[in-house]
Amino acid sequence: DAGVIQSPRHEVTEMGQEVTLRCKPISGHDYLFWYRQTMMRGLELLIYFNNNVPIDDSGMPEDRFSAKMPNASFSTLKIQPSEPRDSAVYFCASSLTVLAYEQYFGPGTRLTVT
Amino acid sequence: TQLLEQSPQFLSIQEGENLTVYCNSSSVFSSLQWYRQEPGEGPVLLVTVVTGGEVKKLKRLTFQFGDARKDSSLHITAAQPGDTGLYLCAGDQDQGGKLIFGQGTELSVKP
């Protein structure tokens, strides 16, 4: 079975540019989570969806970040405009149930903003 | 302020040694999980503990949830180089889907 799929795996962009990260959750999973991982702050939850509806976006750092889930098999995290401090590894995870301990993580997208 | 404090942050040991990693909080969690993450990959769930005082074993790994459900420990017996990686604890306070992660323990097991 395919796990969570993320693309691209690596992204290098210049400050001010728009960045779009993509995620395909495991088929049949109703919950989708976006995380950011940095050395300084560790792994932080940005936003999560249930049945394509955003449930909690309190972790989204600022208005430059937005996330959408147009259907059950696809989600995007967009940063516009990007800044050097956005450099991090962004993970997508999905879960079958409401219970948080069923999350399966993708391989991540390493974003570098110069 | 980190809600979940992990210690130690870094651990370098020789193959065959035993080790314990701790995850502590002043808050109560409905469940607590341990993940292992290798470079270039996402975290992989090792175990979930949900009952205060619960002990779970996974081969050479023993996980314990504190009686008050505020802390947990991971003990590895006879560590092997394949155990090398970042170990993360994560807590769920309300079964609502939000996981709070600790900063992680970077383990290096040398042959």
Tens of pLDDT along A3-24? Answer: 999 999 999 999 999 999 999 9
**Are A107 and A35 spatial neighbours (Cβ–Cβ below 8 Å)?**
no
pLDDT on residue A1? 63
> In the predicted model, is pLDDT for residue B2 greater than 90?
no
Which of B44, B93, B101 to mutate to test binding with chain A, by most A CBs within 10 Å of its CB? B101
Name the band, by pLDDT with cuts 50, 70 and 90, for residue A69.
Answer: very high
pLDDT on residue B94? 73
Closest CA–CA distance from residue B98 to any residue of chain A (Å): 6
CA–CA separation, B103 vs B25, rounded Å? 12
> In the predicted model, is pLDDT for residue B43 greater than 90?
yes
CA–CA separation, A24 vs A27, rounded Å? 8
Q: What is the mean pLDDT of chain B?
A: 93
pLDDT on residue A62? 84
Taking CA atoms, what residue in B is nearest to A95? B97
Average pLDDT over residues B14-43: 94
* pLDDT tens readout for residues A44-64: 999 999 999 999 899 998 899
pLDDT on residue A2? 82
**Are A28 and A48 spatial neighbours (Cβ–Cβ below 8 Å)?**
no
Q: What is the mean pLDDT of chain A?
A: 93
Residue in the block written with tokens 């090398």: B84
Q: Would the CB atoms of B88 and A43 count as touching at under 8 Å?
A: yes
Residue B44 amino acid letter: V
pLDDT on residue A110? 97
pLDDT on residue A27? 94
Average pLDDT over residues B1-13: 89
The residue that leads in pLDDT, A101 or B53, is: B53
pLDDT on residue B24? 95
Name every chain A residue with its beta carbon within 8 A of the beta carbon of B92.
99-101
* pLDDT tens readout for residues B59-103: 999 999 999 999 999 999 999 999 999 999 999 877 666 889 999
Cβ neighbours of residue A106 closer than 8 Å, sequence gap 6 or more: A3, A4, A5, A6, A23, A91, A92, A93, B42
> CA dist B85 to B1, B13, B33, B40, B50, Å?
25, 12, 16, 11, 24
Cβ neighbours of residue A69 closer than 8 Å, sequence gap 6 or more: A32, A49, A52, A53, A54, A75, A76
Residue B41 burial (C-beta neighbours within 10 Å; 0-12, 13-18, 19+)? middle
CA–CA separation, A23 vs A89, rounded Å? 13
Q: Which of A91, A95, A99 sits opposite B42 (nearest CB)?
A: A91
pLDDT on residue A109? 98
